[in-house]
Amino acid sequence: MASDKLNVVIGKRQILREIKKGNIAEIKIAADAEQDYILSMIEIAKQYEVKYLICGSREEFSAKYAIDVPTGAIGLLKYV
């Protein structure tokens, strides 16, 4: 869905950049991501008091958000 793609940021770096600006409403973390990656994303979410959810797979995120490569996390942007 194209509209879904416009409302997310992809990957740890982009999520971290936007979370520091206060633009992230929720982080979705792929259940099949590497354990260290999952733990680091949870830590970031807790540090910035952002809701997080471990769900789906990297391939499911890629398909749903029209991403060329599998990704371990998606940051859902707040609506302005």
pLDDT at 4 over 80: no
pLDDT at 40 over 90: yes
- pTM of the entire structure? 0.88
pLDDT at 13 over 80: yes
CA distance 21 to 53: 20
The pLDDT tens digits of the residues spanning 45-75 come to: 999 999 999 999 999 999 998 888 889 999 9
Give whole-number Cα distances, 9 to 36, 45, 71, 79, in Å. Answer: 20, 14, 11, 13
pLDDT band at 3 (very low <50, low <70, confident <90, very high): very low
